[in-house]
Structure formats: structure tokens, C-alpha cells
Amino acid sequence: MKIDNKRKYLSFLKFKRDFQKYGLEKVRSYELILHWLNNRLSRSQFLVLSGIIVGCSAGLAGVVLKTLVHHIHNFITTKVHFEYQILFYVIFPFLGIVLTTSIVLTLFKGQDRKGIGAILYEIAQNSSIVSSVKMYSQIVQSAITVGLGGSAGLESPIAVTGAAIGSNFAQTYRLSYKERTLLLAAGATAGIASAFNAPIAGIMFAFEILLTGVVFTDFIPLVVAAVCGSLLSRILLQEDILFRFYTREPFNYKNVPYYLILGITTGLYARYFVIVSQKVEHFIKGLNMSRLRKAMFGGAVLSLLCVLFPPLFGEGYDTVKAFTNGNTHSIIENSFFRYFEIKDWTVIIFLILVCLLKAFATSFTIFSGGNGGNFAPSLFAGGTVGYLFALICQHLGFSDVPVTNLVLVGMAGAMSGVLYAPLTAIFLIAESSFGYDLFIPLMIVSVMSYLIAKWFSPISPELKSLADEGKIFTNKHDKNLLFSLKTEDFIDRFSETVNENASIADVFELVKEGDKNIFGVIDDENKLRGILTIDDIRPFLFSDTDTSASIIKIMKAPPAIIHPENKPLEILQIFDDTGVWNLPVVDRENKFVGFISKTSILMSYRQRLKEYSD
């Protein structure tokens, strides 16, 4: 406690010095008040206050982004006649991706790390320190991409923006890693809560995805931030912008078979969506083009898809609302399918193609240079799958099919399988539809979809590569701590070395003058030839053996060799396998770098465990 108070006091003194140095015109007056409160309030009280401030800021950012994109999209889709809309579908999706890429390359110097993986990376690898640029860069990029027709969602950019706001607030007031992580999560929570006006879903998002592997008990700031974000959304957003569904049927246990089949269907579709996303990402990365040309290529593909199937334009929430309101024909009338006689089979074929192509449209939007996430696409696709399933059931002669309910739970199912977040999906749809009596079908569909996704891949494929490289936290807490350590910090670059042509007497001199008990034997090019320990030369210390002999006779090969690229987890496994406590480190040319000690890694692990547990 004394250390915390001392740190707060020193932080306040530094701020006071800067305040006096630069004067009133260059200081934000509210910071003086917050610094004063940080010194006066208890830790819990200041975190609650921080949660309110971060929640309001992140929620306001979400409201601004949603409103901006809504007005752009609304102008394109409702203020123009169909013939001109074709031109819009050709020009604007293409223009959105190209403009976003150009802005990233010019204004943001090519730094375009985006998505939920970016937040998880900062938590695990950068002590929850997020660049201040992300407080506005994600808003600019996603507004252009999605507002001009990119087939992606705004929720991931909103979450990244909120995380950046929370992290930078914590950095300003010199908060610890755990407090910084908590406010980072609070900002993302408020962003999600404002995007959907669903505070509980925002909290579940933080627990299920962001805070995986992070141990903490103080979750009140998350709740406060979620409430603030949701309230701002409810107060400021217009009714047609809100993610709200008012029509649904009461839950009937006789409809459980529908939900069981839909759970399997959405789970398989989610796997299809993920595979297409991975294939498209691999395809685009493999193109021998500049980033701008990749953006032009991806934009052209997206524009073609939007011309053929207008529901792929933008987030797609209006289309899902049309499903729940029974206005499917209005969707088809804006496409080339309007030239066909609209029958049941026409609608079914149209929706099947929309479902299949949504995965491609989203993937080309994101990976060719646009900015967005999979929240909205998974909800759109799930609602479409649910409506399609309901139409097929009706076409087969089943009566009393709960069409609206199938649309709603279908959204939860697809989102659960794509994002690996069943609780977030359940509460999101329950809050957005006032459908708390739908918890049973929501749980059935979401859990089944999630289990199917987990059966194919235990970790979300979107995050799997980062998890395998140890760049993000998982549920394995020991590995999380080890992955947070860096091999470079444990290499003793001042290790003693001895030339292979030296004598045993030369080693005696090194022992007398130094404090090392292990030596690297190198050749004239600094390449490792072997190792030598004090135990190896001890027999010569108290005997009449000739010490002028070359050390080549007594040196030995190391039981294993470490490379700087090896992770601490891998190194500890090598130590366990060999049973030694010190190993040499060499570079790719076999040149000696230094020794690494098992003791130093374990001590750092213990210190990191203490920091994360306090």
C-alpha cells in the first residue's frame, strides 16, 4: 500500500512540474482534478470513477461511428432509385476499401493491426499498452470501409477503439498492469454495449474473449462502463439505428426439434465461414501485388458481389430486420432477382447464395485492406440461415414454424460458432429482442454451434496462429506467464569464453579473476566448440598433472544448444529433458552468444506470477 501511495505521489509531482512548466494554456484542466482524485480516493473508488469516464468516452465513440455509417448507408440505399443504386454498388464498396488502404499507408504509416486479435496481443505482449492512435484510427478506417458498403461489422473496430481509450487513460494516471488491463477491457466492453445497447453482452464479451487467461476479481468497473456505454447508445441513437427486434413468438417446448436442427446447421455454417475466411486470407497474402493493388482487387470482387446480391452491402442488419418483419420481397426487389417471378423457390435460392457468398464478401473486405470485424457478418449470416431454415420447413409442409424465433436464435448460433463466444451471443440476442423467455432455445442453438466449432478446432481459427506462437493468452495460465517472458532478457551476454587452443592453466587464471563457473569454448571465429565447467578442471587443481595441456582434452559437448528464437517454454522443456541448469546460446551461424540459466527463468516466472496475482 505504501509503495502504491508513493507511486501516486510521484506521479502527481511530475504532473505538477509539467503543469508549472507549460502553463495553463497547454494543460488539460480536468487532468489536474483526476490526479488529485487519484491521490485522494482508494484504489477501488478511483477504478469505479475511471470505469465511468472510460465507459462514457468509448460509448460515445461507438455512437458516433454507428450514426455516421448509418447515415452514409441510408443515403445510398433509400435516397436513390434502383437504377442508380447499381452504380453505387459498383463504385462505393470498391472506393471504400481503396480509400481505407490509402489512408492506412499515408496517415497511419502502414500500421493496420486490427480486430480482436490486436487487443489480445497488446494485453499479452505489450503490458496492455495500446497506441493512442487507435483511439481514432479505427473509427476513421471502419467508417469509410463499412459506410461505403464494406461487408463487415463495426463492433470489432469499436471494441479496439474503446480498448485504446481505456489503456491510454490508465497510462495517463500511471496505473498498474492489472488496472490497465481492466480499464482496457472496460473500454471494449462499453464499445460493444453501445453498439448493441446490450450491457450484459458487453460484459460477457470481456470475460469470454478479452480477459482469457487474466486473473482478477475487481469487475465493478466493467459493469459501470457497460452501463454508461449502453445508456449513451439508448439516449443518443435513433430507433432505426439501434440493434433492436420487437416481433417474436413465445417459446414453445414443442419447437425444440427445430432448434436442435438449427444448432447443428449454424455450427456447420460457422465452420464453413471460418474455412472460407482462412482460404481468402491465404489467397490474398499470396498475391504478388502491392497493398494498394490488393485493395483494388478485393474492392472489385466486393463490388461485383454487392451488385448481384445487395444484402451483402454493409453490415446487413436492415436485411435481418426485414426477415423478422416479413419483408423479404423488398430485399429481392433491389436485386436482379426481381426480374424473375418471385416464388418460394426463388427466395430460397436467393438466400442460399447470399449465405454462401457472405463469407467471401466479408473476407475480401477485411483481408484486402478494409477495416471491420466478424460480429455483424456472423449475426447477418446466422439470421439468414435461420430464416432460410424456417422457409424450407414451411415449404415442406410443417405448420406453426416459429420464423422470427429461428431468425433470432440463428444469429446467436452463427456468432457463437464463428467467434467462440456462446455467452456473448446468448445475452446479446436476449437483450436486443427483449427475449429473455428465449433463453432455452438460445442456449440450445449457441452451445451446439459452439461445441461443433470446438470439435473442429479447440481455439478460434482467427486466433490460433497467435496462440500457437504464444502471442496471446489462453486458458493455460502457466503458459501465459511463460509466453509473456522474453528469451533475450535471460541471455548472459557477459559469459566467459576461452579459445579452444588455450591451456588448462589459462582456465585457472579465468577462474581466479572472474566469478563464472561455466565457460564457452570457442574457435577463432567465435563459433562454439564445447563447454567447460569448474567441475571439469577440479581434478587438476590439487594434483601434479601437467596444466599446459590443451583444454580440448577435457571440454565436453553441451547436452543441448539454445537459439535466441526459442521461447522460454521451449527452453524450460529442454532444461527438464537434459537435467542441467545452464546451456549455451548460439546464433544461426553457430557463433557463441552467451549462457542461459534455468534459475533466471524460474525467478522471472515467480516475479511475474506475483505481479499477476496481487
412-421 CB burial, b ≥16 within 10 A, e <16: bbbbbbbbbb
> What are the pLDDT digits (tens) for 326-359?
777 777 776 676 666 666 677 888 899 999 999 9
Q: Beta-carbon neighbour count of residue 440 at 10 Å?
A: 13
Cell of 220: 465493478
Q: What is the dihedral of CA 516, 520, 522, 527, to 10 degrees?
A: -130
Indicate the DSSP class of residue 436: G
Average pLDDT, integer, range 225-242: 84
C-alpha span between 557 and 583 (Å, rounded): 11
**Is 70 exceeded by the pLDDT of residue 427?**
yes
With cell 582434452, the residue in question is 553
Sequence letter at residue 502: A
Q: What is the pLDDT of residues 558-587, one digit of tens each?
A: 999 999 988 888 898 899 989 889 999 999
Confidence of residue 11 (pLDDT cuts 50, 70, 90): low
Cα–Cα distance, 104 to 118 (Å, whole number): 16
- Cα distances (angstroms) measured from residue 153 to each of 130, 317, 426, 464: 21, 10, 18, 21
- Angle of helix 439-456 versus helix 422-432 axis, rounded to 10: 150
The mean-pLDDT minimum among 24-33, 243-252, 432-441 falls in 24-33
**pLDDT tens-place string over residues 373-421:** 899 999 999 999 999 999 999 988 888 889 899 999 999 999 999 999 9
Q: Using alpha carbons only, what angle is made at residue 264 by residues 258 and 270, rounded to the nearest 5 degrees?
A: 125
Average pLDDT, the chain: 84
Name the 3-class secondary structure at 373.
strand
More confident residue, 7 or 426: 426
What size, in residues, is the chain?
A: 614
Read off the pTM. Answer: 0.82
Write down the pLDDT at residue 22. Answer: 45
Distance, CA of 386 to CA of 104 (rounded, Å): 37
Does the pLDDT value for residue 272 go beyond 90? yes
For helices 403-419 and 256-286, angle between their N-to-C axes, nearest 10 degrees: 40
Residue 522 has pLDDT above 60, yes or no: yes
pLDDT at 31: 66
pLDDT at 455: 94
596: β partners: 491, 583
Per the CB < 8 A criterion, the answer to whether 233 and 59 are in contact is: yes
Residue 603 to residue 592: CA distance in whole angstroms = 24
pLDDT digits (tens, 9 = 90+) for 110-164: 666 778 888 888 888 888 889 888 898 899 999 999 988 899 988 899 999 999 9
Residue 237 · residue 425 · CB < 8 Å = no
| Residues 6+ positions from 159 with CB-CB distance below 8 Å | 116, 119, 188, 191, 192, 205, 373
Give, for 471, the enclosing helix (H) or strand (E).
none
